[in-house]
A = this chain, B = another copy of it.
C-alpha cells in the first residue's frame, strides 16, 4: 500500500555482548531483512561467491572507493581491508528492503557519520560481570587480554549517546523481540510515511 524506502538498521555494542547471536536469531525469524554484504580485499576462498559472501576487490579498487566515500565504514585487519559498500546498501533500500548491519562500535560510528539517517541500536550487557564472563568463556583470550577488552568495553559503552535505541541483552529471545519492535515501529514513523498517506487520499 505504502511505497516506502527501506531502512538501514545498525546493531552494535561492546565486544562480547552477543551481537552475532542476536543477529543470527533475528534472521531466522525476519526473513525480509537483507543482511549487508561486506566488501573485502582478502582472497576469495573455496565455496565463497562474489556478491554473496563478500564483494571481492583489489587493494587499489578498495582504496579508490575509500577516496570516493563509497564505503559507509571500513577497517584494515592484518593486511586486508573490510568495509560496507554504500552502493549496495542504497540500492537495496531503494527496492524498499531494510538492510541490517551488525558491526563493532568503531565501525558503527563511521556509519553514523556517513549515513546518519540509519537507525542505530546499542546492545547493552546485562552487567559488566556478565560481559566479563562472556569474554572469558570464549576461552581464546589470556587474563591480560580479558582485562583489556573489558576496559575497551567500558569505553565503548560511553559511546551509547550516538545511538537511537538501547536494548539490554539479558536473554537473546527478549533482545530479538525488542529489535523486532524497533524495526516495526520505525516503519510507522509519521515523518517517513505521511507524504505517501496524503497521496492516497488525494488519489481518491
- What is A's interface to B at a CB cutoff of 8 Å? 1, 122, 124, 127-129, 154, 157, 160-161, 163-168, 177-178, 180-182, 184-186, 188-190, 193-194, 197-198, 200-201, 204
Copy number of this protein in the oligomer?
A: 2
B190 with A181: CB separation less than 8 A = no
Q: In the bound complex, what is the Cα–Cα distance between A103 and B118 (angstroms)?
A: 32
Contacts of A160 in B (CB 8 A): 190, 194, 197-198
Contacts of A128 in B (CB 8 A): 201, 204
B190 with A163: CB separation less than 8 A = yes
Q: In the bound complex, what is the Cα–Cα distance between A124 and B188 (angstroms)?
A: 11
A185 in complex: contacting residue of B154, B161, B185, B197, CB < 8 Å: B185
Q: In the bound complex, what is the Cα–Cα distance between A188 and B182 (angstroms)?
A: 8
A168 with B1: CB separation less than 8 A = yes
